[in-house]
Amino acid sequence: MGFAKKTRKAVIAATAAAALFGLTACQAAGDNAMVNTAAPVTWAIAGNNLDGGHMDPHRSQLDASAMLGRLVLDSLTYLDESGTLQPWLATSWETSADGKKVTFKLREDVTFTDGEKFNAAAVKANFEHIMAAETESAAANDMLGGDAFVGVNVIDEYTAEVEFNRPFAPFLTFSANSNLGFYSPRALATSADKLPAADPAAYIGTGPWKLVEYVAGSSIKYERNEAYTWYPEGFKPLEQNAKTLEVALVAEDNLRVARVSNGEALLASELSPVAVENSNLSVHKTPAPGMPYSLYVNTTQFGSDDKAVRKALALSVDREAIVDAVFGGSYDAAGAVFSPSTPLTTVGDTAVQHDVTAAAKLLDEAGWKLPEGKEIREKDGKPLTLSYISWTPRSEDKQAVTDLLVDQWRAVGIEVKNELLEPGDYNERYGAGTFNLTDWAYGSTDPDILRNHLHSEGFQNASFVKNSEIDAKLEAAAASSDDAERTKLYDELAAWVQTETPIIPVYTPAAISVSSDKLVGLHYDANGWPLLLSVAVK
C-alpha cells in the first residue's frame, strides 16, 4: 500500500500549504515601545473559498485555513529560521531505531481556552480526528502518513508515542504545521462537525488567540488568550499584547494594500508583486518552498493523454515572457517541479526550456497536423482542443497568466479553452477528471509534497498518473531517514516529470505581505506567512 490516501479528494487547489516556523522578525520581538493594548490588530487577507467549509486545517488543504489556524492552534514543534526543528508543545522527542515510532515528551503547563488540559490524550484525540473518515482530511491526512499511520499510544499523561506501520521521515517536519495543530478534546467530542464553518463553540485551541466571530466572506474576530505563556523555544514575546485581532476578507489585492495605506488595516497578505511595486509600506517577500505555480496535465483525457502533446505544451510556454509581462520580473521562471528553496532537492535551478520549433516538430511527428487554412491542429479528423478549468474567484494576475498561456499554445496550433468555474462546479469536474489542464502552486518545506501530486492514490494527483514504479520511488523517499538518499530519489522523480510532463512548472511564487510601522512584534514563518503570536499597536 502507498502512503497516500485511498480515495481522491476534490480540491479547490491553490497553494496549499504549511505553516512551518522560521522566525524572521519584521519588527523586533523585544520591541516594547509604548503600545495601546486596546487598539485592535487589523489584518486584510484574500481568504478565497474559506466560506466553502474550509476554516478547519485538519480538513482543508487551503493556505488560508492553515495561516488562520495558526492563530488558534499550536503545534508540537516549530522550524527555526535555520530549518532546525525546535520544541513548542513538545519539550523533546525521540525516533525509534526502526523509524516507526516517534515519542514526544509534552509540556505540562498548557491548557485549551475551555480549560481542558493539553496532554498525550489530546494528541491522540486530534490525530485520530484527522484520520477519521468523516473528517475527510486533505493535507493533514497525508502529513500523518496516510495509511502508514497506526495511531497514538498514550505512554503516560505527558508522553505520546506516534506509531506508523513503516518509517515516515517527513512526519517530524510536518509536526510543525498548523494542519497538525490541536483542538480541545472536549470540542472534538461534542462539536467536530462545526469546525469547517469555524463555530466559536468548537474552534478552541491552546493558541494565543480565541476565535469569537466568523462572518463568512466578510470578517473574523479574535480575542487574546490572556493565559498564553507557552511560546516556541527561543521566541521573545512583547511585554504587552493587543487584546483583539480583526481579520477582513478582501478579494482584491489592491484594496488590501490600500487598507494598510489609509490606516484601515495594519497588515495585508496574500499579495501579488504588482500590487506592492509602488508601495511605500514595509514589504515582506519570501520565495515559496515546495512546488512552483504549475499546470497539471490530465494524462487520461483526449489530447493530453499523448506525451507528444504534453511535451509540446511545455515547450511552447515562454515563462520568462510571462513573469516579465504579468509580474514585472518579480518572480522567477520555473524549470523544475520543485522550487529552488525546497530542502533535499537540487533541481530547483533547472534551465527553463522554451522552443516553439521543437514543439511544432513533436506535434507533426505524432500526427497532429495543421490543415491548410486552419489554425488548430488535427489528428484523424479531431481538432487538438483542450479544456483548462479554473476556480473562482480568480485574481487578475492568475487570469493574465492563463490568457498568455492560451495565446502561446495557439501559436503552435493547440486550442485551449479556459473555463472559469464556481468552486462547487470546479470540484465536480476535478473529481470526475473531465478536464485537460488545471493549475496551482503548493508550498511545503519537505519535498514529500510531490507524493500528493504523483502517487496513484495522491489526493492532488490532478494528472491522474498511475505508475507503480513512481509510487514505489515516492514511498521509498518518504520512508528513508537518509537525507542523501531522499535527495537522490526526489531528483530522479523531478527528472521523470521533466520527461513525461504530467506537470508543467511555470513560475516560483512568493508569499508577500505589507505592514504598517504601527504594528509591533510582527514575525514571519518559513513560508512567509505573518506570525502573530505576540503583537500590539504603537
Residue type, 175: S
- Residue 269 has, within 13 A of its CA and on its CB side, a CA count of 25
Do residue 504 and residue 526 come from a single domain?
Answer: no
Distances 232 to 20, 30, 74, 78, 84 between C-alpha atoms, Å: 12, 15, 9, 7, 13
**What values do phi and psi take at 214, rounded to 5?**
-125, 115
pTM of the full predicted structure?
Answer: 0.88
Distances 181 to 42, 77, 122, 204, 508 between C-alpha atoms, Å: 24, 10, 11, 11, 27
Distances 77 to 28, 90, 100, 433, 513 between C-alpha atoms, Å: 22, 6, 19, 37, 25
Do residue 38 and residue 96 come from a single domain?
Answer: no
Do residue 147 and residue 276 come from a single domain?
Answer: no
Whole-number Å distance between alpha carbons of 285 and 78: 20
The region, left, alpha or beta by phi > 0 then psi within -120 to 50, assigned to residue 96 is beta
CATH of the domain at 120: 3.40.190.10
Helix or strand (DSSP H, E) at 485: helix 483-500
Strand order in the sheet with 415-421: 332-333, 503-508, 290-297, 437-443, 385-391, 415-421
Residue type, 373: G
Do residue 294 and residue 267 come from a single domain?
Answer: no
Do residue 237 and residue 128 come from a single domain?
Answer: no
Q: Are strands 85-87 and 290-297 parallel, antiparallel or unpaired?
A: unpaired
Q: Tell me the longest C-alpha to C-alpha distance in the chain.
A: 77
CATH of the domain at 463: 3.10.105.10
DSSP letters for 294-344: EEEE-TTSTTTTSHHHHHHHHHH--HHHHHHHHHTT-SEE--SSS-TT-TT
ω before 393 within 30° of 0 (cis)?
A: yes
> Rg (Cα) of the chain, in Å, rounded?
23
In a domain, 381, yes or no: yes
Q: Which of 293, 415, 386 is nearest to 13 (CA)?
A: 293
In a domain, 5, yes or no: no
| pLDDT of 374 | 95
| Domain range for 244 | 33-48+208-287+510-537
| pLDDT of 81 | 66
Do residue 163 and residue 223 come from a single domain?
Answer: no
Do residue 499 and residue 532 come from a single domain?
Answer: no
The one-character DSSP state at 134 is: G
In a domain, 11, yes or no: no
- Residue 86 has which C-alpha cell? 525546535
Domain count, the chain: 3
| pLDDT of 525 | 87
Whole-number Å distance between alpha carbons of 400 and 386: 18
| pLDDT of 76 | 98
Do residue 227 and residue 332 come from a single domain?
Answer: no
**pLDDT tens, residue order, the chain (538 aa):** 333 333 333 333 333 333 344 444 444 444 556 899 999 999 999 987 888 789 999 999 888 999 999 999 999 998 876 677 889 999 999 999 999 999 999 999 999 999 999 999 999 999 999 999 999 998 999 999 999 999 999 999 999 999 999 999 999 999 999 999 999 999 999 999 999 999 999 999 999 999 999 999 999 999 999 999 999 998 999 999 999 999 999 999 999 999 999 999 999 999 999 899 888 999 999 888 999 999 999 999 999 999 999 999 999 999 999 999 999 999 999 999 999 989 999 986 677 889 999 999 999 999 999 999 999 999 999 999 999 999 998 888 999 999 999 999 999 999 999 999 998 999 999 999 999 999 999 989 899 999 999 999 999 999 999 999 999 999 999 999 999 999 999 999 999 999 999 999 999 999 999 999 999 999 998 888 999 999 999 9
Do residue 311 and residue 405 come from a single domain?
Answer: yes
